[in-house]
Structure 1
Amino acid sequence: MAIDYFKIFALPKSYPLDAAVLEQSYRRLSTQYHPDKTAHLSAFEQKQAVMLSATINEAYRVLKSPLDRAAYLLQEQGIKADAPENTHFAPAFLMQQMQWREDLEDAGHDEQALLALNRQIVVARDALQAALNQDFADEKWEEAANHVREGRFIHKLLQQIKQALP
């Protein structure tokens, strides 16, 4: 990786991070390097400011998202968690995934059923976050990659529930 997103925000390189410190650093940097502040500079310097601002925004987006942050850290271990060829899921997760899909379909636009399903999946998401914390603490990279893939599915399902809510 050419650019270390953690260094940009002066954060230790680890999966768990202090979201408040990230937010504070992001606000400071995005204000400090905002392209509007370079209007008086040369075209080259303005272009550099735009590129730096874009890098700051991308670094913030990646580090703010637990799944994106995990995938980013796994890349340093040579693991591309989101690679299309990585399609293996544990059988128990596949069964749970099918059940959640059926429950979502059965719920239709029933707000109470959707909210109940959402609560159930949020519990699973939170457990997955705890598992990712432990995977990184134990340096279990492949398990972390599997959890990232499961987390992507859970995130997508939560978005679908949100869209289905009246």
Structure 2
Amino acid sequence: MTSPFALLQLPESFDLDAETLERNYRALAARFHPDKFAAASSFEQKQAVMMASAVNEAYRALKNPIDRAATLLKAQNIDADAPEHTAFDPEFLMQQMEWREALADAQSEQNHPALEALDTEIRAAQTDLFQSLRQAFAATEFEQAAQLVRQGRFLDKLRKEIAAALP
């Protein structure tokens, strides 16, 4: 199976050039768009649909930094999202509880400025986490990267919940 990096002709690295990712994705998506194969044989149509799907999945996996990190870890035979990995350091657990409480309070009060402030705070935490991921991959500290992926999943989920609570 071709890696998302190979499919999109990108280096296997946490740091990717967003413009190159976008350009390579668009070129492949256009090349394999099923509409281009409307007059082709059913086999060629199926191949085009499969390639279009693979290109879309590769793009999804590489566009989001947390998914990209998880993809890099899978290449190291590390499944950061495996259910047995549920331990977090106490400091992150405390922060997580504080954010959850702040979200619940802001939602119950329909306090949009508080929700926006919480989103800004969590976005800053994500930026710090992405920098820590860069450092972990640069130092080949894959277990540390896996732990950061799990924390990043929580931050992603929390930001989605905040977005859903905002008008």
With the shorter chain as reference, the TM-score category is over 0.9
Q: How far apart are the structure 2 equivalents of 1:75 and 1:145?
A: 10
Shift of 1:135: 0.6
Which residue does 1:154 correspond to in 2?
A: 155
Unaligned 5+ segments in structure 1 are none
Q: How many angstroms apart in 2 are the aligned matches of 1:119 and 1:61?
A: 24
SS at match of 2:57: helix
Structure 1 residue 58: Cα displacement: 0.3
- 1:18-67 CA-to-partner distances (Å, cap 9, x unmatched) read 01000011111111111111112111111011001100000000011101
The equivalent residue for 2:36 is: 37
The secondary structure found in structure 1 opposite 2:40 is coil
**TM-score when normalising by structure 1:** 0.97
Counterpart amino acid of 2:14?
Answer: Y
**Which contiguous aligned blocks of 4+ residues in structure 1 show a shift greater than 3 angstroms?**
none
Gaps of 5+ in 2: none
Task: Compute the displacement of 1:7 (Å).
Answer: 1.4
Map 1:113-124 → 2, pairs under 5 A:
113-124=114-125
Distance (Å, rounded) in 1 between the aligned partners of 2:105 and 2:143: 34
Instruction: Find the aligned partners of 1:164 and 1:42 in 2 and give their Cα distance.
Output: 48
RMSD: 0.8
Correspondence for 1:55: 54
How many Å separate the matches in 2 of 1:58 and 1:80?
A: 18
In 1: Cα distance, 2:3 partner to 2:152 partner: 24
Aligned to 1:92: 91
Matched positions, count: 165
Q: Offset of 1:106 from its aligned partner?
A: 1.2
What is the Cα deviation at residue 107 of structure 1?
A: 1.1
How far apart are the structure 2 equivalents of 1:93 and 1:5? 31
**Residue type matched to 1:8 in 2?**
L
Tell me, what secondary structure is at the counterpart of 1:73? helix
Mapped to 1, the partners of 2:104 and 2:50 lie a distance apart of 43
TM-score, normalised by the number of residues in structure 2: 0.96
The code of the aligned residue for 2:79 comes to K
- Aligned match of 1:75: 74
- Deviations 1:39-96 (CA, angstroms, capped at 9, x unpaired): 1211111101100110000000001110111001101111100011110111100000
AA matched with 1:95: M
